[in-house]
Structure 1
Amino acid sequence: MQYALVIYEDEALYGEENTPAWREIFAQHEAFAGELAQKGVLRGGAGLKPTATATTVRRVAGQCSLHDGPYAESKEQLGGFYVIEAPDLDAALAWARKLPMQGDGSVEVRPIIDGTT
């Protein structure tokens, strides 16, 4: 079964790109992704640019409108995700517990729909 590990954190903790704090957590994520790959469970993933670069398409009553920024403003932002292969939810949760984070935040673990069924 494939699972998405969806990362939510306060992006202000990272500062600007290429600062020491940013480079440190980036290195931690490279190591984490390397471990996932070494164990043969990594299927994909990506980090995301800051929320200031986001554009949201909102559909209401069949009409679309564009909005700068993320859909929901909150203390934590969607920062990136990993797609992993795990035999069950417990194994996926074990990987989520190891995921590096700069501060407080959360990792949503969600099964991916298998399009073959």
Structure 2
Amino acid sequence: MRTLLTAIFAVALLLISLTQPAFADGDIIAGAKVFNANCTSCHLGGGNVINAAKTLKKAALVANAKDTTEAIVAQVTNGKGAMPAFKSRLTEEQIASVAAYVLDKAEKGWQK
């Protein structure tokens, strides 16, 4: 019995390590298109032309508590400060895809 549980655990760990992180059902490719059409004027390359401390780089996302899908979705949906709300311009699916794209790019250091 112990061997069986160990084998099941090992298989589960293997499967988890082979999967890519899920970003709230967001589509990264679609998110890139939406981001490029709506966000690059302020956030080109993960930067922020309005407030240099609030970039989309991983360290800034963590420091500003915007490093989760939920936090990015809320920010894009409702806006805050100088950032406008996009809830009337983008669908929930588009916003989720943008969040997935931003998190993916932040993990990769905004490199191509």
Q: Which has the higher helix share?
A: 2
Q: Which has the higher strand share?
A: 1
| TM-score of the aligned structures, taking structure 2 as reference length | 0.26
Q: Which has the higher contact order (CA 8 A, sep 6+)?
A: 1
| TM-score of the aligned structures, taking structure 1 as reference length | 0.25
Rg bigger for which structure? 2
